[in-house]
Structure 1
Amino acid sequence: MKLRIASYNLHKCRGLTGPHAPERNLQVIADLAPDIIALQEVDFRFGARPEALPRGMIEEMTGLVPVEMRTTGETSLGWHGQSVLLRPNLAEMAETRRLPLPGLEPRGAIALRVNGLTLIAVHLGLARSSRRAQLARLAAKAARLAGDAVVVMGDFNEWRDDRGLESLGALHVLAPGPSYPAPMPRLRLDRMALSPGIEILDHGVGDSQLARRASDHLPIWAEIRLS
């Protein structure tokens, strides 16, 4: 099975300084044409955490649908600001779990299992000590998924290649390119970690003029084949 997977931090759909314009982010997603995309910062941060990415606009503009799950609040799209969009035919067979993560600030991951692939969507903490603890828990979870292909992807918030990722030694860590800050990308904060047996056919960063205005992160993507 071949899949095009992606990850994108939306920055609450307000670009660098505003205004709130989710149609820009949705057009960036449509241009990527992913089968599955992990999203971060889909909700506003305070109060009832209402959706920053309007649920009603998603399928019309991208052809994707949000994964069914219990969200942070009644008007939220995601959990801890995260959601996953996927093709409707994949959504019909998807199983979802929420994974609480340790750290100094509230964080969590979303585990999505579909057709032999377990995809874990993450937005890791700002402190490296928290990120290490979070990745250690996720790596232990991945190690227990015998028989499944595993992809951990999202905003790792880690700008170093030689520190903070020690727990992922059993996985292949892929940073397709600089993704932050979007107007002049220098740091590879957005990454994927893939289990052995997943063939990476192609990968890249969604670096367009629109993407540089739509968020403070650029999206990353990869074409993969599952054995």
Structure 2
Amino acid sequence: MPITVATYNIHDAVGTDGVRNVERIARAIDETGAGIVALQEVSGPGDAGTNRADDFVALARAFGGHAVEGPALQDGDRRYGNLLLSRWPVSDWLVADLAHPQREPRNAIMATVATPDGPLRVVASHFGLFHRERRAQAELIGELTAQEGEMPTVILGDFNDWLPFSPVVRLLSRSLGRHIGAVRRIPTFPSSLPLLALDRILVNDRMRLRSVRVPATPLARTASDHRPLVAEVEIAPGT
């Protein structure tokens, strides 16, 4: 049975019109039809005493199902980072620190999702801006997935890496047992006219990647500075 997954950098819910609109982001997520969604640049409520909403909570409620929060930055009441949403129950989850010295805090959510076809390991992350930082983060994720044993796996996120033969993607692909040529790149940034394939979806050899697409609807073009990246995947028979 195909499973629709998506990764989406929501840019703190600020659209190309400069307006911050969490409800618009929720509609863009719903438009993907995904059952599993990795979100980046999600914000918490901010400083105490402000009227700003907690986007982690608001987006989880709008999506329904299950959610795992992975704020990489926590400063008082302010939270900022990753959020994993799933229509199906989530278990055995952890948030791994991927911080690089003297760089912005980064992490990865790793969780097991009980899909209708069996357990699926999902890794959701947002890599750093510098090449050395991204390589180290890719290696850490490779080590984590290896430690947890073999099972169907999908890695979702903003890799901040657009090169056709990216060393970062090659590192992740090797850890997943896939050839780089099997990984399709589709530009997602900037949302108004995508030129760079910053966002990626990778699967291991216990999965099949059936299709990958980037929505081109008015909502997808305006809700954030990235467009969502959406894929149809399935767990290989006999896995």
Using structure 1 for the length normalisation, give the TM-score.
0.85
**Percentage of pairs with the same residue:** 30
In 1, distance between residues paired with 2:46 and 2:54? 11
Indicate conservation of the 8 Å contact 1:201/1:225, yes or no.
Answer: yes
Q: Which stretches in structure 2 are left out of the alignment for 5+ residues?
A: none
Q: Secondary structure at the match of 1:180?
A: coil
Count of residue correspondences: 221
Give 1:65 shift: 4.0
Of 130, 133, 147 in structure 1, the residue corresponding to residue 136 of structure 2 is 133
Indicate conservation of the 8 Å contact 2:71/2:82, yes or no.
Answer: no
Q: Secondary structure at the match of 1:179?
A: coil
Counterpart check, 1:181 vs 2:190 = yes
Q: Which stretches in structure 1 are left out of the alignment for 5+ residues?
A: none
Counting only pairs closer than 5 Å after superposition, residues 206-217 of structure 1 correspond to structure 2 as 206-217=215-226
Give 1:37 shift: 0.1
Closer, same or farther: CA 175–22 of 1 in aligned 2, 3 Å = farther
2:68 counterpart letter in structure 1: V
Give 1:95 shift: 2.7
In 2, distance between residues paired with 1:111 and 1:74? 25
Using structure 2 for the length normalisation, give the TM-score.
0.81
Counterpart check, 1:124 vs 2:127 = yes
1:149 counterpart letter in structure 2: P
Q: Secondary structure at the match of 1:42?
A: strand
Correspondence for 1:12? 12
Q: Per-residue displacement from partner, 1:177-210 (whole Å, max 9, x unpaired)?
A: 1100000100000001211120112221122111
Larger strand proportion, structure 1 or 2? 2
Correspondence for 2:205? 196
Indicate conservation of the 8 Å contact 1:158/1:164, yes or no.
Answer: no
Indicate conservation of the 8 Å contact 2:45/2:77, yes or no.
Answer: no
2:121 counterpart letter in structure 1: T
Of 153, 165, 179 in structure 2, the residue corresponding to residue 150 of structure 1 is 153
Give the aligned CA root-mean-square deviation in angstroms: 2.7
1:59 counterpart letter in structure 2: R
